[in-house]
A = this chain, B = another copy of it.
């Protein structure tokens, strides 16, 4: 394992993979630095703290930015096709994560954009690559992907309901209630209500408005149940006893056999 290798490949394994001890250590260190960087940006936004520890924050921020820049260059240098990495999703995120700091030299107010670094934390799942977390994340991802068509149908329906109820509330409340002064604001209220967030910054005042709101809230009850139902069914589907194996029929190449299948369900050929 410790026999001399070509450095670039070795570097690649440390930076991009998380299978070796060095690779995991590197990834964990990067994650820790990202979290420190985000916490610094957050605390820096509090005027009281910035006044007191401002120079400390700046020092930490710039040290981390330099480290992340070196890391980005190292990634570019050790990958076989640098351009392909640069244009990949994680490559773009990695670049976006360092750019704001440099931009802040020219335009103030852009430092906070550094929180884009939070997206890099998604790499955390890579570190647990060998553990069961990845397969669980995979089940969730597959369930989410499988639920996209149903969720789309659901969201379009909800948006239509929200538009109509929002406008109705504008017609009913608009004249007397500044919280429903125009349709976009009423639609915003409908979203706040149907998602059961209920800020309470604008509430219906007329009797008709309250009736309409009651109807929307009770409908929201049923509506809220739909995505839970979709997700529960999808997650349950993705796993467990009835989940098809990846076994392929040696005769007709059919897939999707049950765990207890001994013969191909399509051609009757014997499975392994």
Contacts and interface: CB of A to CB of B under 8 A. Distances in A.
Interface of A: 38, 41-43, 45-47, 109, 112-113, 115-116, 118-119, 121-122, 124-125, 131-133, 136-137, 139-140, 143-144, 149-158, 160, 163-164, 167, 170-171, 174, 181-185, 187-188, 191-193, 195-201, 203, 207, 210, 213-214, 217-218, 220-222, 224-237, 239-244, 246, 248, 252-258, 260-270
B217 A197 contact: yes
A111 B133 CA distance: 42
Contacts of A226: 140, 144, 231
Contacts of A154: 140
A249 B125 CA distance: 37
Nearest to A49: B182
B167 A188 contact: no
A38 to B, nearest CB: 6
Contact of A164 (B116, B143, B200, B240): B116
Dominant SS at the A interface? helix
B258 A265 contact: yes
Q: How many chain copies does the complex carry?
A: 4
A224 B174 CA distance: 31
B199 A196 contact: no
B184 A218 contact: no
A266 B256 contact: no
Given A199-B203, A229-B232, 11 more contacts: A112-B167, A115-B167, A118-B163, A188-B210, A192-B213, A195-B217, A221-B227, A224-B228, A256-B256, A260-B265, A262-B268
Contacts of A222: 151, 227, 231
Nearest to A239: B233
A263 B267 contact: yes
B112 A136 contact: no
